[in-house]
Chains A and B, each alone.
Chain A
Amino acid sequence: MKPPLFSYIRPGTLKEAVEAIAATNETDEEVRILAGGQSLIPLLNFRLAYPTVLVDLNIVDELSLISTQDDWLVLGSMVRLRDAELSEEVIDACPLLIAALRHVGHLQIRNRGTIGGSIAHADPAAELPALVLCLGAQIVAVSTRGQRVIEAPDIFLGPFTTTLAADEMVTEIRFPKTTSSKTAFVEFSRRHGDFAIAGVGVAVAFEQDGKTVHEARFGALGVGSTPVRLTGAEEAIQGKELTDSIIKESAEIASLEVEPLDDIHADAEYRRELLANLVWRSLREVGA
């Protein structure tokens, strides 16, 4: 298993990167952006992808910054997953992200894999895309045509497919701070570190009384052709206290509002039941 032939370019700055991507697009090349490579290189090894040009972003330092701006945690697209996991700023601003990152592959994968790469790869069974929906993150993309901000509901189109244009690249992901919410992330996989069969992240903001749900957001993975926001399950708990019966109702609605696919790991019916169980567990955790 060796990658197919391609040519390689390694821009030193964001401007050079954007120009390199634009130039290759004009010549009908099939360009792929090499971020951490933890999904792309396996795809090349299996010959499931045949790009003609790889644009390697690994020395574009300006894409590796972590900062907070007002109510947002801003992660550069080339921030390594492991660096985010260990970052005090991320721990303070968005503990849900930390909880999810611990489930992404293994240490060796997280040492290379990047935040932007994971989101642009758009694996429906991956953790970060589900959190984009759960938290309502914003994706900042640039091309030679300019910059645009893509809102969470507008980014994922299908398995491994996003609304990013061929000449666009992700520069930043902005996650809302979750300091005023209670959050939980739960998933189930056969072995720790494997892609999960299903999982869910939840962020719940409570009213002043600390019991009544003011707003809830769920982002689920492994239960459809994209990550899915569970709006039905959210509505079921809005304005209510998290009693056992309300949690059960929300979990049941979650299992009915998704369209899971059958695959070798689990059939659709199993995934529905699993999701109900995971929603139940996540709400027990935030309600505890």
Chain B
Amino acid sequence: MRARPVKQTVECLDITLEVNGAEMHATVPVRLLLSDFIREELGLCGTHVGCEHGVCGACTVLIDGVPVRSCIMLAAQADGAAVTTIEGLSPETGLSSLQQAFKDCDGLQCGFCTPGFIVTLSALIPDDFPGDEGIREAISGNICRCTGYRGIIDAVRSAWGR
């Protein structure tokens, strides 16, 4: 799937995209942010909107397998892309190993930032982020205001078998 050119200026756009493995079509105003499309049009409220300007990382989703901030991307730009949200990373029952590790290690308190952390970490190859320093680098684009990060680092260590 690939986005097609839009040769005349438009205010609304028909988009076709894959969300958590399912293909879907929608007509979106071009100024609609991807984060708002995901939450309000698709009803996938696991993607949280914190700062709305690309600083906090709570809205992180995967675009074609790569973590990006959905609050500074237009829904129109997800045309032709595969979007994965936190809902797409959770098994039908129970928790993924990363989610379980966050739970076991007290990697969350209020939970607002957690989807962004899990989505980001799900796309990373642990060997690219060696040691605790690597874990800190990996999560540096996500802000947590409750935990002081210690529990989160413990969780990543546990999930990555360190």
Which of B30, B69, B137 contacts A54 (CB under 8 A)?
A: B30
CA distance A108 to B36 in the complex (A): 18
B3 contacts A108, C-beta separation under 8 Å: no
Interface mask (B138-162 → A, CB under 8 Å = 1, otherwise 0): 1011000000000000000000000
Instruction: Tell me the A1-50 residues at the B interface (CB within 8 Å).
Output: 1-13, 16, 24, 34, 37-38, 41-42, 44-46
State how many angstroms separate the Cβ of A244 from the closest Cβ of chain B. 30
State how many angstroms separate the Cβ of A4 from the closest Cβ of chain B. 7
CA distance A195 to B137 in the complex (A): 16
State how many angstroms separate the Cβ of B63 from the closest Cβ of chain A. 8
Select the stretch in B16-24, B53-61, B97-105, B107-115 that faces chain A.
B53-61
Residues of B within 8 A of A46 (CB): 53
| Chain B residue at minimum C-beta to C-beta distance from A107 | B141
Which of B63, B72, B77 contacts A38 (CB under 8 A)?
A: B72
| Chain A residue at minimum C-beta to C-beta distance from B119 | A108
Residues of A within 8 A of B69 (CB): 38, 108-109, 112
Residues of A within 8 A of B63 (CB): 111
Residue A157 CB within 8 A of the other chain: no
Residues of B within 8 A of A211 (CB): none
CA distance A282 to B138 in the complex (A): 26
A112 contacts B73, C-beta separation under 8 Å: yes
Residues of A within 8 A of B30 (CB): 6-8, 54
Q: How many residues of A contact B (CB 8 A)?
A: 39
Which of A5, A41, A59, A105 contacts B74 (CB under 8 A)?
A: A41
Residues of A within 8 A of B (CB): 1-13, 16, 24, 34, 37-38, 41-42, 44-46, 53-54, 56, 58-59, 82, 105-109, 111-112, 191-193
Residues of B within 8 A of A (CB): 2-11, 13, 30-31, 33, 36, 52-54, 57, 60, 63, 66-69, 71-74, 76-77, 120, 136-138, 140-141
Could you list 16 further interchain pairs (A-B, Cβ under 8 angstroms) beyond the known A44-B31, A107-B141? Answer: A1-B53, A8-B13, A8-B74, A9-B8, A9-B9, A12-B5, A16-B7, A38-B72, A45-B33, A54-B30, A59-B5, A107-B67, A108-B120, A111-B68, A112-B68, A192-B137
